[in-house]
Structure 1
Amino acid sequence: MIYFHLSLLNSAAFEFDFETIRAATDNFSHVIGRGGFGSVFKGRLQSGEEIAVKRLLGSSIRSERDFRNEVEILSKLRHKNLIHLLGFCSKQDQRYLVYELMPNSSLQSYISDPHRDSHQLSWEMCRNIVQGIARGLRYIHEESQLWVIHRDINPTNILLDLEFKPKIAGFALARMMQQGESEGESTVIAGTIGFLDPEYMRTGRVSIKSDVYAFGVTILMIISRRRAYSSGGEESLIEHVMRCWNRGEAIYVVHEVMREQEREDSISEVLRYIHIALL
């Protein structure tokens, strides 16, 4: 623990003391998210700024490494389509990440939650979300000078602000490359099932293509509102879309609400996005 904590002292992120975090979250009383990583709490700093505090589970070497990785990478990145890391807190075996609050939660909650109103995301909103993700990826891949590969692009890691503008989050698995380096070896296949580039799974070599593939799957999820992967032996989303595309039935990939409510020119654009996602 001491090694990881000291290494973070050299990062650009601000270190919060635990009492500040506890007071801001009213003793961690307002849970706004849970997952395999831990829990997320809504809070407010004394300045009035609303925050999201992620409390991480586990104290293994790997979880420590993921925590350190996210702090070190995100603290060096600044872009309107990346989540803003405000700081971190490390107290004994507890680790916390403090972010700006995203009022509209994750993209995942809008495209797969049956209790949400499907009408909420129009094609115009979806297109803006896709374009925002693309800008964020271009920044980390080419413009940031860090040459970062995210390695876990999926709708859960796309957060939406008050105006539904997307911000890429979840940099625990991200990897910084050397200048001019386009790919690198990965000792462990990491990411989310359904979003893993087949070439990466086959060779163990991670590259920008891995993010591009996952981005394509995310686009198809937005358009179809289908899961990327089913454990029940059903065809994957990619397989389903390819089958429809090859039969000339790509229109049936588009979610029924979108088919019914969008104009014909919008549907034509949706079909172009399907084609792009399959490239």
Structure 2
Amino acid sequence: MSERLHLHRDGPVARLRMTRAQVHNAFDAGLIAGMTAALEDVAGDAGIRVLVLEAEGASFSAGADLNWMRGMAAASEADNREDSLALARLMRTLDELPKPTIARVQGAAFGGGVGLVACCDIAIGVPEAKFGLTESRLGLLPAVISPYVINAIGPRHARRYFASAEIFDAAEALRIGLLHQVVPADELDAAVRQQLALLLKAGPIASASAKSLVRAACAHADGARHDADNAALIARLRVSPEGQEGLSAFLDKRKPHWIDA
């Protein structure tokens, strides 16, 4: 795809791999634009059901590229705003991707790299992985990624790590909710495959709609309206072709058509 990214499709599974190992997969304008475009392609491909986000080398993503940061430090406020909006678009595109997503975290993630992990629906890492929201050391804050990180780890943990910029390990990432699972490095691919198998057994439309359901539930202030919306959703799913097939397969004690025999 480019020297920064590789998008590979294997049947219903797409793998988007960051390939800037020489700079620890740090962000620059090119990587941000390329990732956004790749995610938009995945979103529009009806044949893709799950995305795995992964990286080459020792690190998952070191956050901002130093040369890129140096250039933005010399740019105008307006240019910095446009640059930040590009990163915001990347994070929102990943967070709202209409496919389940898995982060395969084989190494360290800092700054925006933590944002990528937080935007994925499932995050699996290795014990050696380190994490940090280190922006405050530079007099900055992880503003663009903050909605996704706060959703992942909660306000109290976010207040601590946004302010302290301290580095934490995979065990702490698991404890606070940034990672869902920590496995030895030689078991990482098997753990990802296990999650893929589970996701591919679910109804494609139901699986793809899960995150929008959660988002709506968290955003709803009107309880009665929320109940009505959820009732409408389950009714729509029950009478849909996928819902009918899933219910019929369950009652007939067979696999639904979306699972290979």
The TM-score normalised by the length of structure 2 is: 0.32
- Of Structure 1 and Structure 2, the greater helix share is in 2
The TM-score normalised by the length of structure 1 is: 0.30
